[in-house]
Structure 1
């Protein structure tokens, strides 16, 4: 399995160097509850809302044997994601060996620089409907 982020139809591609131990996919539904006079509450099944996905991992400063990609530095990976966020670009997320292939945007991106230099990060992406 590999995780790719890209922009502008793969003009710029970022392959995560370290796979997260797990990722969480949220698929909410816009259901509505109504109060009736005679039957109490009724729930109407709504349409699917925008999906989101989140994970935590780290960007390494050393060359570990388990790295999936060695094309950039830890700060380079951070800079790329920060730049895409500032440019308000939709990001294509592809997770191989899964059905996940979606246009998305970054909802939250936080990172911590550890004493050994590695950079722990957490990211949350949500689906973007391209019109």
Structure 2
């Protein structure tokens, strides 16, 4: 009896997937993932997908005020969807290659150490991404390969190089650095955010976070910086009025 209900459940899940696919096809919704090692136009559009956009707001407790909500900066969007690569001819599927041809193309994209791009027709989604997780399996003796895919937004740092990848249509990721940068210490942001702002463009991306945290700790230890202070950040230190506030 349990096997019977299990079979009914599988059939119901398959029917739901097929109906979702048919609805996607009627709406002209086509999923395409492209990268340095080729592209995949999914022959069976996922029945649904989910995009998550974090904004990194932070609750801070201020003496005499209590909790306040500090507005954060936008985080990296993530996206998840699942479907299958058909080994059989289905009326609802687009003409398809062998299932493991798709599997191998996605694996090569994930291992290329270059960003890919996800596009969904009929929506505003056209996003550079990294492939965070790719799981696949066979489950019903048809040869169809079921998969789930997790993607994360890849953010390019301006200015970009002028060289464009011919496959993805995206420019190279480079980091701009300057010899000297001036910022004004205001109360509009949290001290850690202001420390981060002072470090931007003065060193490599790898070192910016570390230096911002070190500068923030030095600020707290010294008792703070007066509002309106003009800071000068170089590759060696943060200064004010010729005096070094923090050295790297």
Tell me the secondary structure at the aligned position of residue 14 of structure 1: strand
Please tell me whether the aligned partners of residues 2 and 68 of structure 1 are also in contact (alpha carbons under 8 angstroms).
no
Structure 1 residue 113 displacement after superposition: 1.2
The one of 133, 140, 153 equivalent to 1:108 is 133
Correspondence 1:82 to 2:110: no
Q: Which has the higher contact order (CA 8 A, sep 6+)?
A: 1
TM-score (norm 2): 0.50
Larger helix share, 1 or 2: 2
The one of 30, 35, 55 equivalent to 1:2 is 30
Please tell me whether the aligned partners of residues 15 and 69 of structure 1 are also in contact (alpha carbons under 8 angstroms).
no
Partner of 1:35: 61
Q: C-alpha separation between the residues in 1 aligned to 2:151 and 2:130?
A: 5
Deviates more, 1:73-82 or 1:32-41: 32-41
Larger strand share, 1 or 2: 1
Please tell me whether the aligned partners of residues 53 and 76 of structure 2 are also in contact (alpha carbons under 8 angstroms).
yes
Number of positions where the alignment pairs a residue of Structure 1 with one of Structure 2: 128
Alpha-carbon deviations, 1:71-112, whole Å to 9, x = none? x21000000001111112211111011000010011111111
List, as ranges, runs of 4+ consecutive aligned residues in structure 1 with deviation greater than 2 Å: none
Q: In the TM superposition, what are the counterparts of 1:59-98 in structure 2 within 5 Å?
A: 59-70=85-96, 72-98=97-123
Consecutive unaligned residues of structure 1, counting only runs of 5 or more, are: none
Please tell me whether the aligned partners of residues 93 and 102 of structure 1 are also in contact (alpha carbons under 8 angstroms).
yes
Tell me the secondary structure at the aligned position of residue 77 of structure 1: helix
Structure 1 residue 30 displacement after superposition: 1.3
Structure 1 residue 116 displacement after superposition: 2.1
Consecutive unaligned residues of structure 2, counting only runs of 5 or more, are: 1-28, 157-172, 174-248
Q: C-alpha separation between the residues in 2 aligned to 1:89 and 1:17?
A: 24
